[in-house]
Structure 1
């Protein structure tokens, strides 16, 4: 009796286990890959499903987008500079059958391909292009992986370079180069400033000399114009008074000579001829002779 009860309990537990093991629940955004006795049979969608217990295996495949961070990787640029690069990516499964049955580890294969292509891309670029070309590298990686990862049943939606860090030795050399460049630029700027200062000073002095010379030349021109104007007015005045005025002046001059103490008077012939026509002048000359 006791043995029968124990047997019934064991049978009941086995039946419960079989029933439970036959139930498969597939969550949302997943599919189930059903294999019976190791051979693929079908794909089941999200929900509750009943399968043959013990001989049936259901592999769940997540179809949602998955983020993945890759560990840091050392790569060499075209100019033999070593840099440390870390990558991150987002991918999702596009073919559950390839992902599950055609590759032992699709994710590992995808990561290896990403690292290999990254080494190839960096190897064709100089260090400066690597440090300033993350967008270019991302685009090149996405293009290369897009044609390869389909064989793994996945698609890389986005890949990013998180960090690009030169090795300490390379960083030290870069710092020295940057400092040298800054010092050279500072020296050039100082020399250009001094040259500009000399240029401005020289120009100011030249402008002052030119201004002074122009002022003196203007003064000379004004003085010459004033003298010419005076002479012109004098000539106009002489032309206006006529010959009688000049003759009267000559008579006054002869009068002073006649009244003088000198016994000899030297007069040009032309002046004597001109004055001889004047009665007053003739009388003055006669008086001078009689004395």
Structure 2
């Protein structure tokens, strides 16, 4: 009987110790604890050692650290009825553990749906080409749109980023064809411009050569004309400076040449007609004329 009593006391002591130990809770760093009394929210406690009433009270731990999340691919229709597929990544953290845990059965899912809805609205007001080329702009508009709206879930979105915006396979195929056509068009234009430039340069080179040749010929003609003018000028100067004896000698030389030639006609100046007989060359011409008769 005494052994049974001792065992009973030991069991009671163990239960009391376990009960006391179970009344202590530790809230880790960057976490908060939500204390519930008989299933009803009682208070919020910070990181550290917390004492609760066993069985009656219960603590729920909520992390305040930043969480990454990925929104899987889903389709959006643009303003011009083109279908594109998008996926996002974001980072969020809990700013109000009470709202996060009690105001919504799944705050993270609600936040994701909110972001999806705003992204559909933003892209739905854009044409396909505008949407595909405005990822940065869409990120900015999306961040501004959600703003503090997620505060009702006790969550704040720190960063949101669109990972990809892809058109449907049919649209992509059409875009590839258009891109190929544009590239071929650009190549054809560049080729035509190159040929035109080549023709222009060739024509210019030929024209420059013709002009250079014409200038060279003109310069040669001018040089030749200048030389001839110089020769005539010097000749005239020499003749102007020559004495009468020089011209008489030239006349006598001409008469001598005529006398030895087949012709029998002599042209002399009228002033020299009286002295014609005194010129030996005249006598020779005269004698030759008589012999021929």
- Matched with 2:166 is 165
How far the C-alpha of 1:108 sits from its partner, in A, is 1.7
Contact 1:258 1:284 in 2 (8 A): no
SS of residue paired to 1:25: strand
SS of residue paired to 1:74: strand
SS of residue paired to 2:175: helix
- Is it true that 1:109 corresponds to 2:107 in the alignment? no
- Residues 1:260 and 1:280: Cα distance change in structure 2 (over 3 Å): farther
- Matched with 1:35 is 36
Q: Which moved more, 1:281-290 or 1:27-36?
A: 281-290
- Residues 1:235 and 1:18: Cα distance change in structure 2 (over 3 Å): same
Query: What CA RMSD, in Å, does the superposition of the two structures yield over aligned residues?
Result: 3.3
Unaligned ranges ≥5, structure 1: none
- Residues 1:256 and 1:68: Cα distance change in structure 2 (over 3 Å): closer
Aligned positions of 1:4-83 closer than 5 A = 15=16, 18-83=19-84
- Matched with 1:88 is 89
Aligned positions of 1:147-186 closer than 5 A = 147-186=148-187
Contact 2:148 2:156 in 1 (8 A): no
CA–CA separation in structure 1 for the residues paired with 2:82 and 2:139:
20
Unaligned ranges ≥5, structure 2: none
Contact 1:93 1:155 in 2 (8 A): yes
Paired residue total? 285
TM-score norm. by structure 1 comes to 0.83
Q: Which moved more, 1:197-206 or 1:234-243?
A: 197-206
How far the C-alpha of 1:233 sits from its partner, in A, is 1.1
- Matched with 1:215 is 216
- Residues 1:77 and 1:255: Cα distance change in structure 2 (over 3 Å): same
How far the C-alpha of 1:78 sits from its partner, in A, is 2.3
SS of residue paired to 1:79: coil
- Residues 1:76 and 1:6: Cα distance change in structure 2 (over 3 Å): farther
Q: 2:270 aligns with which of 242, 248, 272?
A: 272
How far the C-alpha of 1:110 sits from its partner, in A, is 1.1
Aligned positions of 1:102-141 closer than 5 A = 102-141=103-142
CA–CA separation in structure 2 for the residues paired with 1:265 and 1:256:
11
